[in-house]
Structure formats: C-alpha cells, structure tokens
Amino acid sequence: MSHSHNHSHNSKDLKGQKLLISILLNIVITVAQVIGGFVSGSLSLLSDALHNFSDVISLIVSYVAAKLSKQKASIDRTFGYKRAEILAAFINASTLIIVAIILIFEAVKRFKNPQEIESGLVIWLAIVAIIGNGLSVLLLRKDAKNNINMRSAYLHLLTDMLASVAVLIGGLLMKYYQLFWVDSLLTLLIALYLIWVGYDLLKTSTKMLMLFTPDNINIKAVVRTVNKLPKVSKLHHVHIWNLSDDELHLEAHLDLKEDISTTEFNDLLLDIETVLHDEFNINHVTIQPEFNKEDPKEVIVQD
C-alpha cells in the first residue's frame, strides 16, 4: 500500500475572522428587527428577524466547523475533523428549507388577513439589515466560491439581504400606497427562493457525505488514463470520493503486467500520482499493487 499527499494549505484563519464579524453584525440586526417587528406590527420584519436569527445559528455552525476542520488528526480521529464543514453545509441547507416553509405558512396566513403596519420603522430597519447583510455577503463572497461550508453561510446571508430588500420595497409600498398585501407576497417569493437554493446545497452536501463520486469525475476516464501507463495491466476496485472540499481521494487495486520490484513500483506510483493530480485534481492516492493475484478485476467491485 502506498500513499501520497499533495496539499495546498492557505491561511484559513481569515475565514474565521470574517465569519465572526458576520455573526456580530447579524446579532445586532436580529435584535433590532425583533424589537422593530413588535413595535410596528410587521410580520415581514419579524419573519426577517427569524431569518436573521437562523443566519446567526448557521454562521456559528460554519465558524465552529471551520475551526474544527483545522484540528490535527489523532489516533482516535485519523481524518481529524475535515468533514465538519460538509456536515455544517448539510445542517445549514436543511435550516434554510425549514425557515422557508415557516415563512410560507406565515405569508399565506397574513395574505388572508392583512394587517396595518407602521411602515416608517419597517423602512429604516430594512435599510439597516441590507447594509449589515450586504457587508457580510461581501466579506464571504470570495471564500464561498471554493468552500461548501462558506457557501452555505454565504447563501443564508445573501437570501437574508434579498429578504430585507423585499421588506424595504414592501415598507415603501405600504407607506405611499397602503398596499399591505405586498408584505405577504414578498415573504412568499423569498421563501420559494430559499427552498430552491437550499435544495441544491442539500443535494451537494448529501452526495459528499455519502461518498458518491464527485460530479466532475469520470471513473472510466481515470481508469483509461492509468491503464495507458507502462507495466500497468488494469486499475480496478476503484473508489473516488471527496473527504472535504479540497481533498479528493482515490483508492484502488493495480494489476501489473510484470513482477516488478518495490523500487520500480515507487517510480510507477509517482507517475500515477502526477497524472491523476494534473488531469483529475486527485490529491490523495492509495494503490494496492498486484501481480497474478486472484481477485475480482471489475472497476467497481460489489463488496
């Protein structure tokens, strides 16, 4: 058996700081909106506050996961907590969908029974929330592109910012046109968007948790590439999975054409690692070399 590691360790502490700032901003917004919601009687403000509160929770989950994922591996935890971030994304996607369902119920209830709302306060608090969430969204934007945990936190904040924009529009329409039903309609639209975004994130994180082959990897192409190398007869019994967002593992048996020495195998292994890294971005390779061994030679073996 042999192993290879190609890692890129970048400064991830910045990620934690950005999350902390976002957590503090969101706590301020939540408190302001809860008070404002009760004072003004605006359900869209209260539902926005609920959404903001779910942001605080999801940001804390992301923050803890980001911190945990940096912990070193140990005897009891040989992978460390590298999968914590995938778990965090799964939790956050689930809460996005739950919040959306609650919002839909609220919106329908109030659509049937519109209430007069103190719109001035709603407008000001919506502006505060847009600025606060806007800052958090900008902070996390870059990290959201290449990390599923940060993406889940970012989506919570982005949808929240949209919700606040909707609340603002609703507030203005209520103030100048007395259109109180707009509040409900906007709440409903935001909720539907949340479900759409949340579902996608839930699907991605579930695939990772189930160790499914990543969407961008074609196992047959991987096998064909390795089989072209000299002395290789067949790569089989293949597993490819994402341990975390930036770690892609391959484990397989390698049937050899000749009974080569371990030193020769080391050279061959280096070639395999290089080609897998360059062509498929696989950065962890574990290969079991075999020669004339009686075992199933299918690419995918049913255990």
Summarize pLDDT for 233-282 with one digit per residue, the tens: 999 999 999 998 889 999 999 999 999 999 999 999 999 999 999 999 99
User: In the prediction, which pLDDT does 2 show?
Assistant: 54
- What's the average model confidence in pLDDT over 96-114? 84
Tokens in use for 162?
A: 């949209």
Mean pLDDT for the stretch of residues 64-77: 90
Q: Higher model confidence: residue 211 or residue 10?
A: 211
Which of 149, 141, 155 has the alpha carbon at shortest distance from 242? 149
Helix (H) or strand (E) holding 240: strand 232-244
- The pLDDT assigned to 5 comes to 53
Q: Report the pLDDT averaged over residues 57-64.
A: 89
What pLDDT is recorded for position 172? Answer: 87
Name the percent of the chain lying above pLDDT 70: 94
Q: Give the model's pLDDT for residue 145.
A: 86
pLDDT at residue 9 greater than cutoff 60: no
Q: Is residue 54 pLDDT above 70, yes or no?
A: yes
250 beta partners:
240, 285
Q: Which long-range contacts (CB under 8 A, 24 or more apart) does 253-258 make?
A: 253/287, 253/288, 253/290, 253/295, 254/226, 254/287, 254/288, 254/289, 254/290, 255/290, 255/291, 255/293, 255/297, 256/231, 256/232, 256/289, 256/290, 256/291, 257/231, 257/232, 257/233, 258/231, 258/291
Report the amino acid identity of residue 110.
Answer: R
Per-residue burial over 118-140, b = 16 or more CB atoms within 10 Å of its CB, e = otherwise = bbebbbebbeebbebbbebbebb
pLDDT at 228 over 90: yes
- Overall average pLDDT of the 183-201 stretch: 85
Residue 105 CA to residue 109 CA, distance in Å, equals: 6
SS3 per-residue string spanning 73-106: CCCCCCCCCCCHHHHHHHHHHHHHHHHHHHHHHH
SS3 state of residue 282: coil
Which pairs with CB-CB distance under 8 Å and at least 24 residues apart come from 67-70? 67/16, 69/149, 69/244, 70/12
CA 180 remoteness from chain centre: 36
**182-209 helix and 148-177 helix, angle to the nearest 10 degrees:** 170
Task: Determine the pLDDT at residue 174.
Answer: 80
**What number of other Cβ atoms are within 10 A of residue 79's Cβ?**
11
Mean pLDDT of the chain: 87
pLDDT given for residue 12 in this prediction = 54
- What is the arithmetic mean of pLDDT over 203-225? 95
Residue 241: the pLDDT is: 96
| Total Cβ atoms within 10 A of residue 198 | 23
| Tokens read off for 115 | 């209430």
DSSP, collapsed to helix, strand or coil, labels residue 126 as: helix
